[in-house]
Structure 1
């Protein structure tokens, strides 16, 4: 096995152990969030949407539902500031990124990693693949719950090709320079962002 192959195997081992441990330790919080969502608005607790993962293979991403709708079609409108579709508890969950916690199940099952390029809705992949340079190369690694682009300020809506290009450039830089140490740095920066949440919608 090559050095990079061994490092990727180590990354997967960390994903399995980290996601399993996270699900066990965070179970009380996950249950509390589920109750708050049910009390706050009608609809399912979990939101599942098709995304594209490693090797362009589709998978269903899991998130806590933060909006009154559960779009998963060929046209998906991104959330905007003061979006009326976002629920009261949903606004808090999105601002703190707690809505992403169910993706620990995706990591455990192997469709995602703790760290990697964030997966976009299939509709947005189709929208940007033809106008953003090297967009499809993001699928060379498993998508992550968090990533280099997110800790560098690329969160929330991507209203135009320029905004998406910046996100893709950071994703590709992560793929090209990936190492276990870089993952540790990104996870540490992510924890800092969760403790000090910035504007997200």
Structure 2
């Protein structure tokens, strides 16, 4: 393990696993693995990465076939409010300092959902489909402040985090497995979070 990556893992651990109060610990216990799995699917963590967990949170590590590829480590937890998930991730390119990101995704903010038949259609915002259309291959959830992130580069001269918010979440459904997992996750979270725009 390189020095820069080791530092990133230590810092990520300190950010992602603070001293838990009893009430916080109870919140984490209340988040079922089914909900965490649903968030993992919607955030693109499930299908391409290896996962380990401790019963209240999950850690995803990128599986590398190429040693020159960037490494990604993501910690996912869901507290007492099942509609909100927090992720803490470290992304490192070979020979570079890692970039740490803390992101809060709040599905209660979703006010619009639109699907597309291909990635090109999504990029061009053409030929929109209903979210439950069987021909959908890309799905976009939209809402003000849907995902907010604080990002810090360990190699930054300023040492100051940068905060941004995104009003959309893109979900790929290009394979049968992705579609099955995404539909299941969307149905679960639509029910739990009252996302009416996903109602069939």
Bigger strand fraction: 2
Bigger helix fraction: 1
TM-score (norm 2): 0.29
TM-score (norm 1): 0.29
The structure, 1 or 2, with the larger RCO (C-alpha pairs under 8 Å, 6+ apart) is: 1
